[in-house]
Amino acid sequence: MGNFIDVNGVWKKFQTRSGEHVTALADISCQVQEGEFVCVVGPSGCGKSTLLRIIAGLVPPTQGQTVIAGTPVRSPRREIGMVFQSPVLLAWRSVIDNILVPAEVIGLPSGQARRRAVELLELVGLAQFADKFPSELSGGMRQRVAIARALMHSPQILLMDEPFGALDAMTRESMNIELLRIWEAQRKTVVLVTHSIEEAIFLADRIFVVSPRPGRLSDVLDVKVSRPRSNRSRYEPAFIELAASLRGYFENMHSERMQ
């Protein structure tokens, strides 16, 4: 594996309505290898989602650049799929027709696209729900549809912004297992933003720790929990030790901010 995503000296500043300039990200540099699963963790408002949008080409950096497979990112790219916290499904379209949206946008032949959509429904375990509508699905099922839709155009990179943040704890755990199963089958390069320390450890090869605003990359941690992972992995010493270390780090960070 080689570096696939290179974030080089990225800064992002926003101007508020009052004219004040706010620095969301300060001099972020990091690399993600092809096929790697990386999680980004940090306190609310530290710029995690902004970083993800810059990698996706949805937001331009104020300074610095992101390079994917040797090419600078200046706009959204076909090799990137994006999953947000809300599935944002079209209520009037069936499950399979929601998954087909990217194929329609980029003009894939309809027969080929439909075969791909059926394969993805199988992959996310929703083959029997192809003709249902979003209102007929649970929250976890809707998010599975969103993941299938993001994979529709066979992207090499999957960017996920708190994809399970709105789900209850038990559904979230089952979706973590589901996502690992999909990743193991597809081996996409995944960058996932989460507030959950346990979720990050359970999913990731490495964890990028972002400091409070302005967001800086304060640490990069290897996750030494063995793969393949299951709920039993949460009781491995490596998992427990890393969770305690990260929790202590954020508690110290919070204490310093309050002083």
Give the DSSP letter string of the chain. --EEEEEEEEEEEEE-TTS-EEEEEEEEEEEEETT-EEEEE--TTSSHHHHHHHHHTSS--SEEEEEETTEE--S--TTEEEE-SS----TTS-HHHHHTHHHHHHT--HHHHHHHHHHHHHHTT-GGGTT--GGGS-HHHHHHHHHHHHHTT--SEEEEESTTTTS-HHHHHHHHHHHHHHHHHH--EEEEE-S-HHHHHHH-SEEEEEPSSSB-EEEEEE----SS--GGGGGSHHHHHHHHHHHHHHHHHHHHHH-
pLDDT of residue 256: 59
pLDDT of residue 204: 97
pLDDT of residue 2: 61
CA–CA dist 250, 218 (Å, integer): 11
Domain boundaries of the chain, sorted by first residue: 80-154
Mean pLDDT split into 10-residue runs, the chain, 259 residues: 85 85 93 96 90 95 94 91 91 96 88 93 94 95 94 93 90 92 92 95 96 91 95 95 92 64
What pTM did the predictor assign? 0.93
Cross-strand partners of 110? none
pLDDT of residue 230: 93
* Backbone angles phi and psi of 129, in degrees to 5: -110, 15
Look at residues 104, 83, 106, 96 and name the one whose alpha carbon lies nearest to residue 126: 96
- At which residue do the structure tokens 């996502």 appear? 179
